[in-house]
A and B are shown apart, each in its own frame.
Chain A
Amino acid sequence: MSDIESRIEEELDRHDTAPGEESITEHELAGGLSGYLLGFGLAILLTIASFLAAQTELIYQPAVISALVVLAIAQMGVHLVFFLHITTGPDNTNNVLALAFGVLIVALVVIGSVWIMAHLNLNMAPMTAPQAEMMP
């Protein structure tokens, strides 16, 4: 790249940041080495909490799934903030909007499938005795 081109690039770059760019949070707690260390620590704590929640007898059993989902979403948030440097700043709007759209589709696909298939299962006629015998 020629010198002039790179100078133009610097001018253009001033208000826009790429997703995950280190310079976004360089001067903040969530940036630099402190950000990665903090994110790593939080992620480890949340992972340990997930493994404990899945195996402990202390939590009311039907609530374990909610606890696990909440812990997983929290850990994803930690990754997004501390590792991928997603912020609410104006230079990040495009990245956050794309992410929000992705999350919407993911939620529709997963929740929609589980919901509809559970209803279909529920509406299935119960198995008759001869059918049950033919099951492997």
Chain B
Amino acid sequence: MSDITAGSAARDPHRSGGHGHGGHGHGLFPATGHGKGGPASKFVTVAYGFWIFLLSDIIMFSAFFASFAVLSKATAGGPSGKELFELTRVAAQTGLLLTSSFTGGLAMLATHRRSVAATQFWLLVTGLLGAAFLFLEVQEFATMAHEQAGPSRSAFLSAFFALVGCHGTHVGLGLLWLGTMMAQLWVKGFRPDLLRRLHCFALFWHALDIIWIAIFTLVYLLGASP
């Protein structure tokens, strides 16, 4: 919205003007999204609903984090994180996912400008970086399973594979979603429903990176520190 139309709304942050005289949203600035003056637009409700889903997803992750935190010392005589984790790989994974979150943001900026070519390009970069991240994670899991440090070795490793594997699954599903978005954008262009989906995807991808921050800090860095 332009600054001119937003002017008095910005200076009246609680929009008491729209509520005060029992108005149902008539007046200069109808109080939308407050139960008066009509519902919020579909774009807002869809994105807000997805925001709620993301928060519930993060709460599910918090349960995995809690079990990992409780079980992180329960190695049952098996290998500990200090012996298993390779911090160079974790640093590479972190860089890949962070950059892919950044390029995902650039894709959304291109969507905001309604540039199909730029959106497709940045979505492709985002997907490739995400795939590289997933490759490193699968490589790590395969190495650990090969060293007899699979999920059945100890409670610590069960919690580790559940937590990190759950995040990896999210990244994998996100990649499928991203591919679908690129195909739909190619065929359909910037339709309103596609704009909503692209926006939800961007939220999802940023949320995955936020969860990864917690994983590399609490699982890898703390696990590998003396």
The chain A residues found within 8 Å of chain B, CB to CB, are: 1, 6, 9-23, 27, 32-33, 36, 39-40, 43-44, 47, 50-51, 53-55, 61, 64-65, 68-69, 71-72, 75-76, 79-80, 83-84, 89-90, 94-95, 98-99, 101-102, 105-106, 109-110, 112-114, 117, 135-136
The chain B residues found within 8 Å of chain A, CB to CB, are: 1, 3, 5, 9, 13-15, 29-33, 38-44, 46-48, 51-52, 55-56, 58-59, 62-63, 65-67, 69-70, 76-77, 87, 91, 94-95, 98-99, 101-102, 105-106, 108-109, 112, 192, 199, 202-203, 206, 209-210, 213-214, 216-218, 221-222, 224-226
Give complex CA distance A53, B209 in Å. 20
Closest residue of B by beta carbon distance from A57: B226
Chain B residues with CB under 8 A of A10: 41
Closest Cβ–Cβ distance, residue A119 to chain B (whole Å):
12
Cβ contacts A to B, 28 pairs, < 8 Å: A12-B32, A13-B44, A14-B1, A14-B32, A15-B29, A16-B44, A21-B47, A22-B109, A39-B102, A40-B98, A40-B102, A55-B225, A65-B222, A69-B218, A71-B217, A79-B101, A79-B210, A83-B209, A84-B206, A94-B33, A99-B51, A102-B59, A105-B62, A113-B66, A113-B67, A113-B70, A114-B69, A135-B77
B105 pairs with A36, CB closer than 8 A: yes
A54 pairs with B224, CB closer than 8 A: yes
B69 pairs with A12, CB closer than 8 A: no
Q: Compute the total of residue contacts between A and B using a CB distance below 8 Å.
A: 172
A90 pairs with B13, CB closer than 8 A: yes
Give complex CA distance A36, B206 in Å. 12
Secondary structure class of chain A's binding surface, majority of residues: helix
